[in-house]
């Protein structure tokens, strides 16, 4: 018996795997294609754990996934694998359709075949948990209520449209085939191992390197930030007790404008790594051209998971962002590996082309 964690070498997936192995006895198998966003170094601390296995592969490779499910006697799949960066989806949507839509479909087909052949008790307890995003719901006006699970899907970027399509496929596999699925739609995460193309790690590293802090548009777009281990605890809870076929919104009730986030980062860095007299990292802020179709505001109403499953986040933005900045300051070798591409060379060497 094991969990299959797809995309487990990425930001949230690797945090989930590390937390799982620290808390539970059950083994995990990570299936990851190791795109630019996947980094085996994230999992270095568990490489020698006998409960951990890593397999490089594509969720879109149905026969390969089917064999893996069989080999490890998988009792649940948690699907993190995706192309995840909105800006990349604007430059090149093809990979997003390929992995997030077609890949999820192939994964569902492999899982359906495997699950269908399980004996009754194993079939009953099997779970497929699909990790998704609040971005499927589109953008909110300043005064509109936060997204509930009933909010209409109105995705605006190729990324969010591809995630919305995958959510629909997961839902359809439950309604049509009875596959025991669960879906989570979470707000913006931050924390350790976050690839520095996303707002928070990019701003931390640019600040420390004396580079401009590029704020898109007027900087007043609002995101609802959740510390990554709180997302992981929500996923564990949904896996354990979620109602089959249900979707659960996950968020920290922590709406902030991008400018507020950057201001906070700069003030903590001013305290922890002060510049010479009187100067602040805030002086590095540059307003740049806005993202096309930039969603104005996301906000999650997490009442359902709070009420039904008793989940609550443990971190506030203040505690979470201090942990995050502390982690980046304490792990220059991780940053160096990612930024220099050294870890990609290592991947080619270790796993072949
Ligand atoms: P990430 O980009 O850091 O990691 C994605 C991982 O998936 C990488 O390790 C990559 O190598 C792997 N992958 C990509 N294509 C694959 C394929 N075809 N087969 C196997 N592996 C593949 O992303 P993340 O931020 O960790 O997000 C994980 C999931 O959570 C995604 O589905 C994303 O949509 C969702 N999500 C992210 C956030 C956030 O704020 N980052 C918020 C809510 C939901
Ligand atoms: P991002 O981390 O890419 O997450 P998402 O687009 O999925 O919410 O961006 C978070 C917010 O920060 C978003 O409103 C875009 C903005 N942003 C910037 O202003 N500058 C940047 O360099 C980046 C990467 C993002």
The finding on whether 160 has its CB within 6 A of some atom of ligand 2 is no
Residues of the chain scoring pLDDT < 70: 342-344, 346-347, 350-353
CATH number at 248 reads 3.40.50.720
The finding on whether 139 has its CB within 6 A of some atom of ligand 2 is no
Closest ligand to C-alpha of residue 192 is 1
Nearest CA to ligand 1 atom 28: 80
For residue 48, the CA-to-ligand 1 centroid distance in Å is: 24
Q: What pLDDT sits at residue 241? A: 98
Burial 21-37 (b: 16+ CB within 10 A, else e): beeeeebbbbbbbbbeb
Residue 218, in any domain of the structure: no
Residue 287, in any domain of the structure: no
The finding on whether 84 has its CB within 6 A of some atom of ligand 2 is no
Residue 199, in any domain of the structure: no
Q: Find the domain containing 17 and state its range.
A: 2-193+226-253+297-316
The 10s digit of each residue's pLDDT in 338-348 is: 887 765 676 67
Residue 136, in any domain of the structure: yes
Residue 273, in any domain of the structure: no
Q: Is the dihedral of CA 53, 56, 60, 66 positive or negative?
A: negative
Residue 246, in any domain of the structure: yes
Q: Do residues 334 and 195 touch, judged by C-beta distance below 8 A?
A: no
Single out the catalytic residue among 83, 135, 255, 301.
135
Closest ligand to C-alpha of residue 163 is 1
The 10s digit of each residue's pLDDT in 116-170 is: 999 999 999 999 999 999 999 999 999 999 999 999 999 999 999 999 999 999 9
Residue 93, in any domain of the structure: yes
Q: Do residues 300 and 250 touch, judged by C-beta distance below 8 A?
A: yes
Number of domains in the chain: 1
Nearest CA to ligand 1 atom 19: 58
pTM of the model: 0.97
Integer Cα distance of 103 and 60 in angstroms = 4
Angle between helices 11-23 and 228-241 (to 10 degrees): 60
Residue 206, in any domain of the structure: no
Q: What pLDDT sits at residue 347? A: 60
């Amino acid at each position: 018996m094991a969990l299959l964690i797809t995309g487990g070498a990425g930001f949230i997936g690797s945090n989930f795997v590390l937390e799982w192995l620290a808390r539970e006895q059950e083994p995990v198998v990570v299936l990851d294609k190791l795109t630019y966003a996947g980094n085996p170094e994230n999992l270095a601390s568990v490489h020698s754990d006998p409960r951990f296995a890593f397999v490089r592969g594509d969720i879109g490779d149905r026969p390969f996934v089917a064999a893996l499910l069989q080999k490890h006697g998988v009792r649940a799949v948690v699907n993190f694998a995706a192309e995840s960066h909105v800006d990349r989806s604007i430059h090149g949507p093809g990979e997003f359709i390929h992995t997030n839509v077609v890949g999820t479909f192939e994964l569902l087909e492999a899982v359906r075949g495997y699950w269908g052949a399980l004996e009754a008790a194993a079939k009953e307890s099997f779970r497929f948990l699909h990790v998704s995003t609040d971005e499927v719901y589109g953008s909110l006006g300043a005064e509109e209520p936060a997204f509930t699970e009933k909010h209409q899907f109105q995705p605006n970027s190729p990324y969010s449209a591809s995630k919305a399509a995958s959510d629909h496929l997961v839902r359809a596999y439950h309604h049509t085939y009875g596959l025991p699925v669960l879906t989570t739609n979470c707000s913006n995460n931050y924390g350790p191992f976050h690839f520095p193309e996303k707002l928070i790690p990019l701003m931390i590293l640019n600040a420390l390197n004396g580079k401009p802090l590029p704020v898109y548009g007027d900087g007043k777009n609002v995101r609802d930030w959740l510390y990554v281990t709180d997302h992981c605890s929500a996923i564990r809870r949904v896996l354990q007790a979620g109602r089959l076929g249900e979707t659960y919104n996950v968020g920290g009730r922590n709406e902030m404008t991008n400018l507020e986030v950057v201001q906070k980062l700069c003030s903590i860095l001013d305290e922890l790594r002060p510049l010479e007299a009187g100067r602040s990292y805030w002086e590095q802020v540059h307003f740049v051209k806005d993202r096309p179709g930039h969603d104005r505001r996301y906000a999650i109403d997490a009442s359902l998971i709070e009420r039904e499953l008793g989940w609550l986040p443990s971190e506030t933005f203040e505690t979470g962002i201090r942990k995050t900045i502390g982690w980046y300051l304490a792990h220059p070798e991780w940053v160096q590996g990612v930024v220099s591409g050294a870890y990609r060379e290592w991947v080619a060497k270790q796993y072949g082309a």
